[in-house]
Amino acid sequence: MKSNRENIKNVFLGILAILICLIIFRMVASIIRNSKKPIALIYNVGSVKAELKKVPHNISVQSIAEGDPEVKVYPQVSGIFSRNAVSEGDIVKKDQDIVFIDRNIIGYKYALAPVKAPIAGEVTKLYYTDKGNALNPNNAVAQVADDENIKVVFNVNQDDLLLLKKGQKARISFINDDSIFVDGEVYSAPPFISSDTMSGTIVVKAPNKDKKMEIGMSVNVDVLIGEEDSILVPEQAVLLNESGAYVYMDVSGKAKAINVTMGYKQGEEVEISSPELKPGDEIITDGSFKLADGLSVDSNTSIAATAATGKK
């Protein structure tokens, strides 16, 4: 009996020793695990070096390309519309017949009276197609435009009008493809504001000898009003919140948000300014959406911001 009790006691003590060892092992492992420093999370981002460049500042509008000159054609006699001698889009020479008028009256028969083109160019409009319409010298029958020169007429507000002057350089480009363009200048910028529209009328003209631009095209007009030393960054670098625009800078491997003011846009780049921003600063462009102030970043510097033409 005594031997059995001794055996049971020895087994119990052995189990107790094992449990104590396991507890001590778990406690030591927990202490060692908690003593290790967590691995810092570093965000891989793309960036550009901010560079100061001369950024052209433009006033930009949209309008319609017209011929220069573009004139309405009026008959010299009264009568009845007979027929058109040309179609819209046809190119005509000066003094070419474009419309015929029937001058017959009861008891008298006359040859058809031609209405001639006052200039060479493209027939952009024919006002009559149905035979029998009564005409007189006050009724325009057609419109002809010189397509080797173009003009664009548009209105601007008072603030922009003060910045526009005759002779300023301008570019007229096709609204759907800016690789189609002609260069010209401001032809007319009178300092008068219409009381009805509270705007002023500007005329921009340009040569079109190779006929890149077509009459009636929707176009963008960019008028150069000056240049300023500014910083351009890729548009995706600029983030927006309820307070306005901001960017992240890489400052010694840490993300830092700074508020910026956005200016002219050029293609996929935008002009920014801030008292905290200076040339040489590293602006984060890719991956900034996941950042917050103070996070560690590893930036891959790409091509620097450059400037060509700004758009308002």
Specify the pLDDT at position 309.
33
Specify the pLDDT at position 110.
80
**Look-up of token digits 């007189």:** 136
The H or E element spanning position 249 is strand 244-251
Q: Which two tokens stand for residue 228?
A: 């300023």
Share of the chain above pLDDT 70, in %: 87
Which of the listed ranges 138-147, 231-240, 286-295 does the model predict with the highest average pLDDT? 138-147
Over residues 35-77, the pLDDT tens digits come to 555 556 888 888 888 888 888 888 999 999 999 999 999 999 9
pTM: 0.61
pLDDT tier, 11 (very low <50, low <70, confident <90, very high otherwise): low
Q: What is the mean pLDDT of the chain?
A: 85
Give a three-class secondary structure readout of 91-151.
EECCCCEEEEEECCECCECCCCEEEECCCCEEEEEECCCCCCCEECCCCCCEEEECCCEEE
Stretch 97-122: mean pLDDT: 88
- Among residues 125, 121, 137, the alpha carbon closest in space to that of 69 is found at 121
Over residues 189-222, the pLDDT tens digits come to 998 888 888 899 999 999 999 888 889 899 999 9
